Amino acid sequence: MSQTIKNFLTRSNLRNLVLLLSLTSGAFYSIREEGMLIGFLLLAVGCFLHLLSKGVLIRNVVLSRKGIYGIIRHPYYLSNYLIDSSFCVLSGNPYLLLVYPFFFFWAYGPTLRKEEAYLSSKHDNIVTKYTSEIPQIFPDQASFNQWKTFFEGFCMERITRKECGRIARFCSSGLLIALIQEIKADGLSVLTDLIHPTWHDCDEFLFALLAITCYLAGLVLIKMTKRNRYEF
């Protein structure tokens, strides 16, 4: 049973599970405007860190220690933590938000150990010093002293269409959860506003329009990435 759960809770399955539970919870749990603001703020910061970490990382070539990697060793995983947490907040389900950290380390723990073991085998002496000075996922007071080098090593050319497409999908998912919250709060009759929106009550229409736009943009960007890969 334990092995089955361990195999199920992979990184990709965790994201799918969080999205499913968040979308479902949105129909049963309510959220205030402050909670909605916090949820989208976490989503924005998570997406920003996602792009920043990808713009600094030179995978399998050098050990990244510049910029954001001089503050935490795994900023990409921190971005995933914040993005998933934003979905939990937008769902309005406090139990989902409380249990998510346990699921996160359960799913990401094996990956973290494997990656750091690989880096140690490639850069033994450097990694030992690096891991002793830089926090793994969450920054501490000492690492924040490196904030002046936050963007060091960043290159926009390293951010691919695929990554931009993923960001668009993250935004689409957050907007969809918020749309479910709006529909639940105002009643099913508000569905008519999605078809015939008015100037005074168009929140649901805007959420739906932005969600669809972000989803389609993400789909196009990812398809373009796959097509270019086949061409080469």
- Considering 47-56, 133-142, 213-222, the range whose residues carry the highest mean pLDDT is 47-56
- Integer CA distances (angstroms), 193 to 28, 43, 103, in order: 21, 26, 38
3-state secondary structure 163-197: HHHHHHHHHHHHHHHHHHHHHHHHCHHHHHHHHCC
Domain that holds residue 221: 160-232
How does pLDDT run across 11-53, given as a tens digit for each residue?
879 999 999 999 999 989 999 999 999 999 999 999 999 999 9
Structural domains of the chain, count: 2
pLDDT above 90 for 213: no
pLDDT for 4: 47
| Arithmetic mean of pLDDT over the chain | 82
At residue 71, the 3 state secondary structure works out as coil
Percent of the chain at pLDDT above 90? 36
Longest dimension (CA), the chain: 64
Average pLDDT of the segment spanning 170-178: 92
| Domain final residue, candidates 128, 155, 182 | 155
29 and 8 in a single domain? The answer is: yes
130 and 174 in a single domain? The answer is: no
pLDDT for 115: 82
109 and 22 in a single domain? The answer is: yes
| Domain final residue, candidates 112, 133, 155 | 155
- Integer CA distances (angstroms), 75 to 15, 51, 84, 105, in order: 17, 10, 14, 15
pLDDT for 77: 94
Q: Structure tokens of 30?
A: 């309510």
149 and 231 in a single domain? The answer is: no
- Minimum mean pLDDT among 14-28, 141-155, 178-192: which range? 178-192
Residue, of 181 and 224, whose pLDDT is higher: 181
29 and 136 in a single domain? The answer is: yes
144 and 206 in a single domain? The answer is: no
Residue, of 164 and 201, whose pLDDT is higher: 164
| Domain final residue, candidates 115, 136, 155 | 155
CATH number at residue 116: 1.20.120.1630
> 54-60 long-range CB contacts below 8 Å, 24 or more apart?
54/158, 54/159, 54/160, 54/163, 55/154, 55/155, 55/156, 55/158, 55/159, 56/152, 56/153, 56/154, 56/155, 56/158, 57/158, 58/158
How does pLDDT run across 100-133, given as a tens digit for each residue?
999 999 999 888 888 878 777 776 667 667 777 8
Q: What are the residues facing 201 on neighbouring strands? A: 198
- Minimum mean pLDDT among 20-34, 80-94, 204-218: which range? 204-218
pLDDT above 80 for 56: yes
pLDDT for 47: 96
